[in-house]
């Protein structure tokens, strides 16, 4: 991807967002650089672009939203990316987090169930010359077994229970980050696959749209 680091349109707003993320506790320089490099305004509708670098969720159509930058940053930090990973993202959405992952990992596979969002994200990523991402439209709750195993699986929607089908697509020492729960109460958990068992770590409360599909709601 062509670096956009704090140049051009919205440069000051992007710089302000990066500073805000750093003040909130995001210390990973690679994550901060990714936020400085990826133009978030390219991933939201024109009507809300003036708020693209505020730390708020924004509508992106199809009754979906792009998460707050602070949420994306926290989740990326929890994934403990080194730049060598093969990552599966479930819920491409706007494609913004996909673009961040493209800078932070070796290979990114991303699935979106809504064709309109998938097409919009695909166009934005192509315009930014993102080359290490493979996109698919379909049931993300099933994962991408043909491309497994993955070092990291990042789920952008809440599953009704711990998704065993996705856990099985992790490599040894792989990490799965997924919110679990219904529309009233959700908890973000991190799962690490060991040699013989899975280790589940509760992280915090969460609020995401439901994971719709054969292995979701």
Does the residue 147 lie in any domain?
A: yes
The rounded distance, in Å, linking the Cα atoms of 91 and 97 is 10
Write the pLDDT tens digit of every residue in 98-122: 999 999 999 999 999 999 999 999 9
Where are the alpha helices (H) located in the chain, listed in sequence order?
11-23, 29-37, 69-79, 96-104, 115-127, 164-167
Does the residue 156 lie in any domain?
A: yes
User: Is residue 39 predicted with pLDDT exceeding 80?
Assistant: yes
Does the residue 13 lie in any domain?
A: no
Band (pLDDT 50/70/90 cuts) for residue 7 is low
Does the residue 194 lie in any domain?
A: yes
What average pLDDT does the chain have? 95
User: Is residue 151 predicted with pLDDT exceeding 60?
Assistant: yes
Q: What is the pLDDT of residue 1?
A: 44
Does the residue 45 lie in any domain?
A: no
- Lookup result for tokens 């990992």: 105
Q: What is the pLDDT of residue 184?
A: 85
Domain count within the chain: 1
CATH code of the domain in which 98 resides: 3.40.50.150
Does the residue 53 lie in any domain?
A: no
Does the residue 142 lie in any domain?
A: yes
Structural domain containing residue 157: 64-206
Does the residue 48 lie in any domain?
A: no
Q: What is the pLDDT of residue 112?
A: 98
Rg (CA), the chain: 16
Q: Would you please indicate which residues are annotated as catalytic (active-site) residues?
A: 67
Within 8 A by CB and 6+ apart from 178, the residues are 153, 155, 158, 159, 162, 163, 166, 188, 189, 191
């Amino acid at each position: 991807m062509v670096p956009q680091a704090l140049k051009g349109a919205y440069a000051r707003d992007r710089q302000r967002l990066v500073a805000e993320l750093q003040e909130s506790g995001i210390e990973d320089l690679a994550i901060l650089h990714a936020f400085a490099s990826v133009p978030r305004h390219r991933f939201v509708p024109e009507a809300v672009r003036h708020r693209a670098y505020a730390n708020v969720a924004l509508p992106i159509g199809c009754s979906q939203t792009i998460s707050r930058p602070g949420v994306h940053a926290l989740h990326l930090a929890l994934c403990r990316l080194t730049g060598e990973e093969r990552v599966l993202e479930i819920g491409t959405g706007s494609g913004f987090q996909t673009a961040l992952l493209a800078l932070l990992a070796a290979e990114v596979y991303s699935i979106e169930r809504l064709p309109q969002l998938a097409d919009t994200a695909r166009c934005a990523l192509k315009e930014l010359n993102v080359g290490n991402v493979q996109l698919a439209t379909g049931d993300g709750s099933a994962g991408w077994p043909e491309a497994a195993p993955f070092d990291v699986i990042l789920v952008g929607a809440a599953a009704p229970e711990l998704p065993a089908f996705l856990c099985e697509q992790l490599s040894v020492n792989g990490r799965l980050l997924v919110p679990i729960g219904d529309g009233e109460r959700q908890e973000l958990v991190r799962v690490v696959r060991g040699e013989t068992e899975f280790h589940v770590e509760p992280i915090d409360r969460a609020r995401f749209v439901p994971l719709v599909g054969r292995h979701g709601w």
